[in-house]
Amino acid sequence: MKTKITITALLLISVNISFAQENRLWLLLGAGAVNTSKTGKDNLMGNGYNIEAEAFVPFYNKKGFSLGGVLNGSYTSIRNLSPDNATVASKYQVYGGSVAVNNETAGKASGSFSGLLGAQAILKAGNFSILPAVSAGYLRFDQQGYTQTGSAMMNNGQSGEMVLVKTEKQKNEGLVLKPQLKLGYALTTNFTLFIASAYTAGPALQHTSEHLVPQGGFNDKNTYETSQLSKGTWESQTTESRYRSVNFNAGIMLGLGKRKATKGPGAASSSYAAGRLSMTPTSARQTPNTSFGKKASAITADGPTNPLYDDKGLEGTNPLARPGNPIGGIIVKGGKNPGGNAISLITDQNGKINFTVTEVGTYTLRITSPDTAGSDENSTKSQRKGRTYTAGRKNETPNAGIMAGLGNPIGGIIVKGGKNPGGGAFNLISNDNGEVTFTVNEPGAYQLQITAPETSGKSISSKGVSSVKPAKSKH
């Protein structure tokens, strides 16, 4: 009972330390088979099963590698093997009859408890992980006792019983060393399946039994009068073995708590984004003899929506997407730095993109408005002043910079998201080149959402979010 209380207390201390340091705590629960050594079986320790719980707190994390402390508590049930009744019967024969021996054990299994503390590493490759660990601690093993009783059947029809061998319950305890190797496969960010193999090297075990010595001692024929057995004396015998076993387990790993988010270049806090990074829509530029509808002719109702225009990108009567709304149809390209271009996606109607990352590292994405094959040379040379709509006010002059047009990078766009499902580690704003840069600490599926800023008095251009100055009235 004291061992159980100690293990529970250590687990609770480990949980408190992990959350205080804002590290993720991994809780491992497993069970499996136990195979004892040959010397163990010679001392009636059979195979069995074990149940264990572990708490792992990483203290060092870098690019798919974690190193930390592990606390392990386990219970092992070992089957009690039957003693050799035939050998005992051959040593206690009687004149004028025969002896049969049977045994009775205090229980079908013996139990051991252990509490260990050690170090564990996690090496990740995609969804797969390898977890080597070495732990040491305390083990207590309580082996149940047994008795062997001889039943004598005499030729004259008489019979009788007598205990010939007896063993009391044995209690052994000491230090234990346990190297272990686990292989894991992550189903989600916080849920992993694993299989494990471990070798347990425990303390020396004393096995003491008492044997009945017939009156006058044992003879060469191992045959005695019944009176010699009834008047015999007890003699103890002790053998020694070491606690050795090989375990094969399977179980689950549960990630508790949140890992500290790493902010890459361009990252912003939610308060910064809410207080400053907002915009009001501005009209896109137009050129003589080229209408918005004509420019967007390559974008059909069945394809991605151009976020710069209304009516699924086919009309040019409205400016950029409404402030604070997700922007569908935005082109997002990029990949791992330097020079990666494996990602090329278009946001859906909710402004979202989904992609899978197989390697940790720094990633850069570039956000651009949709390009079309329908634009001509005149549409990029000649420009006509458009109107800016700022919080419902008309006749305001747009900023002097080039407004976000077809195919241009878009600065000042808010990009939020993270690991899918449920991740929210990223809160970024595209720079003047329409780029956001962030760090990925864990492979897996990711989801980002592209939205327009919310504050009025701003417009989006290829230079980023800029202020919009109202036009002077003429008197």
Q: Is the pLDDT of residue 339 over 70?
A: yes
Q: Is the pLDDT of residue 330 over 60?
A: yes
Q: Is the pLDDT of residue 393 over 60?
A: no
Which tens digit of pLDDT belongs to each residue from 18-31? 333 435 789 999 99
- pTM of the predicted structure, to 2 decimals: 0.52
Cα–Cα distance, 326 to 351 (Å, whole number): 5
Under the banding of pLDDT at 50, 70 and 90, the label for residue 328 is: confident
Under the banding of pLDDT at 50, 70 and 90, the label for residue 279 is: very low
Q: Is the pLDDT of residue 452 over 70?
A: yes
Q: What pLDDT is stored for residue 53 in this prediction? A: 96
* Cβ contacts of 6 within 8 Å, gap of 6 or more: 115
Q: In terms of Cα–Cα distance, which of 372, 304, 367 is closest to 334?
A: 367
Which tens digit of pLDDT belongs to each residue from 72-86? 999 999 999 999 999
Share of the chain above pLDDT 70, in %: 68
Q: Is the pLDDT of residue 98 over 90?
A: no
Q: Which residue has the tokens 């075990």?
A: 205
Q: Which residue has the higher pLDDT, 424 or 252?
A: 252
Q: Is the pLDDT of residue 177 over 90?
A: yes
Which tens digit of pLDDT belongs to each residue from 114-134? 999 999 999 999 999 999 999
Q: Is the pLDDT of residue 436 over 80?
A: yes
Once rounded to an integer, what is the mean pLDDT over residues 82-107? 90
Q: Is the pLDDT of residue 390 over 50?
A: no
Of the listed ranges 70-74, 212-216, 296-300, 416-420, the least confidently predicted one is 296-300
* Cβ contacts of 16 within 8 Å, gap of 6 or more: none
Cα–Cα distance, 320 to 459 (Å, whole number): 9
Within a 10 A sphere around the Cβ of 441, how many other Cβ atoms?
Answer: 16
Cα–Cα distance, 310 to 58 (Å, whole number): 51
Q: Is the pLDDT of residue 210 over 50?
A: yes
Q: Is the pLDDT of residue 262 over 70?
A: no
457: left (phi over 0), alpha (psi -120 to 50) or beta: left
Q: Is the pLDDT of residue 455 over 60?
A: no
What's the 3-state SS for 355-380? EEECCCEEEEEEEECCCCCCCCHHHH
Q: What pLDDT is stored for residue 319 in this prediction? A: 41
Under the banding of pLDDT at 50, 70 and 90, the label for residue 382 is: very low
Cα–Cα distance, 410 to 351 (Å, whole number): 14
What's the first-to-final CA gap in the chain, in angstroms?
A: 93
Q: What pLDDT is stored for residue 292 in this prediction? A: 34
Range(s) within the chain of domains with CATH label 2.40.160.20: 2-80+104-143+168-208+231-256
* CATH T-level assignment (fold) for domain 2-80+104-143+168-208+231-256: Porin (2.40.160)
Q: What share of residues in the chain are helix, strand, coil (percent, to 5)?
A: 10, 50, 35
Q: Which residue has the higher pLDDT, 111 or 4?
A: 111
23 phi and psi, to 5 degrees?
-100, 155
Under the banding of pLDDT at 50, 70 and 90, the label for residue 258 is: low
* Cβ contacts of 274 within 8 Å, gap of 6 or more: 454
CB-CB contact of 175 with 213 (8 Å) = no
Per-chain mean pLDDT for the chain? 75
Give me the helices (H) in 21-148, please: 38-42, 85-91
Q: Is the pLDDT of residue 315 over 60?
A: no
